[in-house]
Chain A
Amino acid sequence: MTQWVLEGLRAGIRTTRYPFAPETAAGVSPGLPAAGELARPDLERLIARCPTAALASADGRLVVDARRCVHCFRCVRGSDTPAPWQGGYEWATGEGTLGKTFTRSLHIRVVDAGDCGACLHEVKQLAGPYYSLHRLGFFISPTPRQADVLLVVGPGTDQMREALTKAYKAMPTPRTVIAVGTCALSGGVFGSNFACGGGISSILPVDVEVPGNPPPPLAILHALLLATGRAAPAAKERQTAGERMP
């Protein structure tokens, strides 16, 4: 017991400083491909290599739809001219509709709508000591009756459609839906098929979207801050930062 306390004191506070200071630790984010200028043949080769049609060309430039990217790295690895890559984690887009009232107390109901486990795992990390969402006034709720945010992971399978609708209807207003992960945004590698409709937006009105497959915990934290109006949404188009995937 004493040892445990001493160990804790010696270790000090390891919790991330985000959102008060940028997180700089290695490996907190896998990054996303970024928009950039490329030669036309390279561009077409890269677009052809993308399995989820996240890459496209517009006026001869490479544009990235982050809502589709699954971090497969096919556009970076094994390609002679790799796509520009960008780190960071403030990826959430959308509009924070919840007002100041929820600044210190926001209750989140997490629903697994056909998730593979990856996004759910990242959500679970939030409650750990490193990301510690409670310090920011976020709490996981066991029931939608007391939740302000419905945090949905997974592509929204037909089997979960009814449960999701029920959970949303059971929530008191004002309520916000956060779709987490590429599958929840666009269907990801599954797309629209016999078992799912290609994203949560086909079932519920989504307010905040978090790209990433899975998104790092900090991106989810950013989405929660965005939902309460405590952070700005990600920029519309990412600039080439000159970073390269190692």
Chain B
Amino acid sequence: MIAMAWTGAFFALCALGMLLAPFVPQRRNPLLVAIAGALASACLCVAGAYALLSGRTVDTTLGLSPLGSTIRFSLDPLSGVFVLITGIVFLATSVFSAGYLQRYLDHYSLKVFTVLYFGLLAAIAAVLLASDVLSFLVAWELMSIGCYLLVNFEHRRDENIRAGYLMLAMGEAGTLAAAVALLLLANAAGSLGFEAIRMNGTRLADGLRWTVFVLSVAGFGVKAGLVPVNSWLPRAHPAAPANVSALLSGVILNLGIYGIVRVNLDLVPPRLAGPGIVLLLVGAISAFLGILYAVTANDMKTLLAHSSIENMGIATTALGAGVVFATTGHQALAAIALVAAFYQLANHSVYKALLFFGAGTVDAYAGTRDLDHLGGLIHRMPWTALFFLIGSLSIAAIYPFSGFSSEWLTLQALLRSAELSSNLVKTAFAFAGVALALTAALAVTCFVKAFAMGFLGMPRSPAAEEAREAPRSMLAPMGALAALCVLLGILPTFVIPALGGALKSVGGASAAHTLVPPFFSHGRPSALPAKFIADFHDLGAQVGQDIVPGRGLVVLHRGGADNPVVFAMATSYGFVVLILLLGGTAFVVRRLTAARRVMREEQWDGGVHQLLPEMTYTATGFSNPVRVIFDAILRPRTVEDTQETVAQHFRVAIVRTREHPHLVDRLVLDVLTAWMAGAAGLLARMHHGKLNAYVAYVLGTLVLFLGIAALR
């Protein structure tokens, strides 16, 4: 009940924020967002952490809905994971907003923003807590619309309006699909409550399972940004304010995955391997396409948006692997894959919120987000640069930052497909593994580009030259998230058991003991199975000796008797060793070179008179090799080819603009748009403006309904 009290406090604070907003003066509204938002999200964090760590499910019945069903909220460990992640992102975003919103003070109504912001916060939490179909769908719809309104906050720009409409349209289509999936389940169970659906879940026929799976993945996948329903995401992010972008990527994308997990793993326990394979492949393709378009993007926020698709893809791949393992009886491997998926989601929320804060700060204080026009910001915005660097290293999965742990677990889980029996499934796993490996490499390229082109080198525009550092209220949340990135990276041994607890609600055994054995625990060698210790002796390791204190090692499932190879990662110990090595090397080098005479001269620049920004490497140039290699997928197209002439025959310049229409846009969105336009054209023939025909329509409709009534 304690957890529910904290969530109650959260909803109360959100309501308070919404009520106060119209009465607080415009320029005080950011402060309201910061204070009330921070308090509310702190409550949410406590509730989530409590649910996750205690491992208990708390239920509350809120009353009867107009349809006669009970409205139930429940907080189980699965919700707990998402609630905790959400709370952390909310907390950072609320504090960040105080400084960031100042830029809208003279142009847009911040009172409206505050009301919508708290509304969205409450709706998101309600989605995670809802425990019956009706309240879930209502909360989902509120979340969808609140999200649309906030993304479209800068509503006086044409391109934002277009992006907003696409987002709304795709979101609504997704909601519709998800609603059908949930109602099918409710129909089969004869009740709207999740509890009843769960009881009935094991008895479902295969056909219904597939229908529910396809509908829910397509519906929730829209919010998660999975291919091929991701077209709205790269358009919405550049339109949204940075703090909303952080919420969008850090929280709302997670909700999509939450929906998929809730329906396909919790409500309907998996029995078929097929859906798992589909998830695996969808995830792998999303990851690869996401990062490919991220590398070629030059707008910082578009780049981050595409990279969100990539990260959701990685999580979905792990999820798919988990489903396949679970349905083929490999419970321990399933637990590893699912923990990897949750870990990936947690990491992504933290570093993507951080990176969006960074991009927003750059946008606000350097005047542009175009990497081709930035550069040299590290001198003027040193703290922002440091935090953005930590975020970039994390997302590029560089040890010892957070992305490494989850991607490592995901790839290891995919490698364990050797224990599956079907060759077809193994091939799918191999494909996903290769795609993820390629993705990881491209992610490094992408974030080298994002950081180096934005923060290093020379400023390539007057705006970047006059950049200044953000106020502390914006740097503090970035710093906190950066610290969290490091912690999530070096302490997986504490994160994994916590996440393992969430598996209880999706029917899996807790992965904690499989993944993090009390390996170096003080004086407790007997806590490990003797067989396990023997395996390690064969590998030349000593187990259970009092060498180092605490948990520091993640050990992946140790395989069968003929396969005693153990995959292990010791990021916590590795971090200590890394620091010792780096520090020791620095010390030795210093001592050795202390006596040397140092000459300091200007850096060699090729002897040019003055190095101009136009001469330096650009973001476009940096990503060009990737663009050339993947030309067959990217299909760049010249959209404009105008010639500027002085007289009839003298050409001054040829202006050429190239763009890369997204593969999904070309193959899916454009085709659908064309069909819809065709259908609308057919329907438009009815709208010919002849009054007598309209009267005939009314009459016809009346006759039709009377006929139906008479037949019943």
Contacts and interface: CB of A to CB of B under 8 A. Distances in A.
A189 B462 CA distance: 46
A237 interface: no
Nearest to A146: B604
B604 A162 contact: no
B602 interface: yes
A145 B605 CA distance: 10
Contacts of A163: 607-609
B609 A170 contact: no
A167 interface: yes
A164 interface: yes
Nearest to B597: A173
A169 B607 CA distance: 10
A143 B604 contact: yes
Contact of B602 (A143, A169, A173): A169
Interface string B588-612: 0000000000010111110111000
Contacts of B607: 111, 162-164, 166-167
Contact of A145 (B599, B604, B609): B604
B599 A170 contact: no
A169 B605 CA distance: 12
B601 A170 contact: yes
A169 B599 CA distance: 10
A188 interface: no
A169 B602 CA distance: 8
Nearest to A143: B604
A111 B606 CA distance: 11
B604 A170 contact: yes
Contacts of B604: 143-145, 166-167, 170
Contacts of A143: 604
Nearest to A168: B601
A162 B608 CA distance: 8
B608 A173 contact: no
A174 to B, nearest CB: 12
Interface in B599-649: 599, 601-605, 607-609
Contacts of B608: 163
Interface residues of B, number: 9
Interface in A169-210: 169-170, 173
Contacts of A111: 607
Nearest to A162: B609
A165 to B, nearest CB: 9
Interface in A143-171: 143-145, 162-164, 166-167, 169-170
A141 to B, nearest CB: 12
Interface in A112-160: 143-145
Interface string B391-421: 0000000000000000000000000000000
A169 B601 contact: yes
Contacts of B599: 173
A166 B603 CA distance: 9
A3 B257 CA distance: 67
Nearest to B599: A173
Nearest to A173: B599
B675 to A, nearest CB: 58
A167 B602 CA distance: 10
A169 to B, nearest CB: 4
Contacts of B609: 162-163
Contacts of B602: 166, 169-170
B601 to A, nearest CB: 4
A164 B602 CA distance: 13
Contacts of B603: 170
A28 to B, nearest CB: 33
Contacts of A173: 599
B9 to A, nearest CB: 63
Most buried by B among A111, A163, A166: A166
B254 to A, nearest CB: 49
Nearest to B610: A162
Q: Which among B599, B601, B607, B608 has the highest number of chain A CB atoms within 10 Å?
A: B607
A144 B604 CA distance: 8
A166 B611 CA distance: 13
B615 to A, nearest CB: 14
A163 B602 CA distance: 12
A167 B605 CA distance: 9
A173 B600 CA distance: 12
Nearest to A166: B607
A204 to B, nearest CB: 13
Nearest to A111: B607
Contacts of A164: 607
A111 B604 CA distance: 14
Nearest to A144: B604
Nearest to B605: A166
Interface of A: 111, 143-145, 162-164, 166-167, 169-170, 173
Q: What are the 10 A-B residue pairs with the smallest beta carbon separation, nearest first?
A: A163-B607, A170-B604, A169-B601, A166-B607, A145-B604, A167-B607, A162-B609, A144-B604, A170-B601, A143-B604
7 contacts: A145-B604, A162-B607, A162-B609, A163-B609, A166-B602, A166-B605, A169-B601
Given A162-B607, A162-B609, 12 more contacts: A143-B604, A144-B604, A145-B604, A163-B608, A166-B604, A166-B607, A167-B604, A167-B607, A170-B601, A170-B602, A170-B604, A173-B599
